[in-house]
Structure 1
Amino acid sequence: MCDTTMQLRYLSACAIAREAGNLMRTRFIERNGVQDLTFKGPQDYLTATDGDVERLIARRLAAAFPDDDFFGEESGGALGTNVWVVDPIDGTSEFARGVPHFCVSIAFLRDGKVEIGVLFDPMRDELFAAWRGAGATLNGQPLRVSKIDDIARASVELGWSSRVPYGRYATVHARLHALGAGVTRRGSGALGLAYVAMGRQDAYCELHINAWDAAAAILLVEEAGGWVNDFLTAECMVQGNYVIACPPALRDVLEQAMDA
């Protein structure tokens, strides 16, 4: 696949992410109280906007790249050689409850490897974008992970998933506290990973996260000089996986802490 074709995908993903994010922002501002929620599972939210945003992205990508496959959180799809993996709203629980912390996530995979990753946070007007081998940016400015090399000085976001027994989460949480890390939790794994890429926090860990939540953001971290575990295995695309993203100097201690 020539660079010109990949560049077109990259630019299109950025434009489509902004368009989708602007729809999310409009819906968020115009909401009347807490939005009607559908629960797909424990703490697994769905709003009408999720579906509307995913359909918008799917239409735009199909028009621009009709030979590419599409796999979305809400609609599923095909996982071929060239596939777009999309989370229309990462942070749906925050979106639905009036908390401005969510984003759209668009990743392009070729032969199972992320080549393009784009996130857009419409409430902060922050467009995170990465193209493999070309670096990662925030609104066009280069990103680098933090230089923190001491876990006792690190800010670590620990994501939570109902798919993992609470005891395992509690064990990891306790280990991180014992090591002196500042442990936080927000409502968007994709943004949590993006914040590692820009040094807004030092690490993001989660015992289970879905591929569509993390695919775009892991490329951001890698292209910003960070380390990410072997996340996108064949099984991950349908079953999810654990994730650790951090500066290389924190890899060993976080791998040990996450061995729960």
Structure 2
Amino acid sequence: MLDKLMRKKTAMSEGLLSDRIANVKRGQIPAHVAIIMDGNGRWAKQRNLPRIAGHHEGMKTVRKITRIANDLGIEVLTLYAFSTENWKRPKLEIDFLMKLPGEFLSTYLPELIEKNVKVEMIGNVEMLPEHTKKAIRKAMEATKDNDGMTLNFAMNYGSRLELVEALKKIATLVEDGLLQVDDIDDSMISSHLMTAHLPEPDLLIRTSGEVRLSNFMLWQLAYAELSFTSVLWPDFDEACMIHAMEEFQLRHRRFGSVEGEGTI
């Protein structure tokens, strides 16, 4: 009797979620969603588990959110997987984190190929361990001709470093006489960033209750809508993603214009 009741509740929940997904798909879908995946360690601590258990559980969430983002028609999903500051963590944790891309991609690459998802990466790939680089490059090569959603991993990525490198490239062009100082504008800087070929994020989601950007896409997020949730990343499921989409669709994006009441 209890099993029957649980199955009925599950069916009702799935039905409600399907209705919400259908409603969201009728509205404006953000072309690019960026997510700061935060809270794996706290999730593990709450359960008296090692931090690496939280990272492993978070990997399962990556699959769920990739699936629903693709189903919704999101063009680019960028996931902040490892920052340039994360090298300060304990070596055991770093070693585990560096194994996750290989585990995730070896397990789910066939599904990504089937779903027409293209895998990309931003960040300094050369500093990553060889096995991590090999897994990422294999996935990028296997999906390079896919023209569906782009699953973009930010690995060994830091926005300030990205901006410094972009400005160095522009300065070199000026120094070589290939560019005039007056030619430098927003679009020039954007074109030298790692995301030059991608649309700027429309929506940033950060899990775990932290309310900061943590050196993530500082230039690209200038006009993005920001969504902060106290839900820890391993617990961030399809319903949470749909809620973020629903909130996004209720907002009026002005991009600095003076239209609408209450605008400064």
- Work out whether the TM-score is over 0.5: no
* Larger helix fraction of residues: 2
Higher relative contact order (CA 8 A, sep 6+): 2
State the structure with more CA Rg.
2
* Larger strand fraction of residues: 1
Q: TM-score range by the shorter chain?
A: under 0.3
Q: What's the TM-score once normalised by structure 2's chain length?
A: 0.23
Q: What's the TM-score once normalised by structure 1's chain length?
A: 0.24
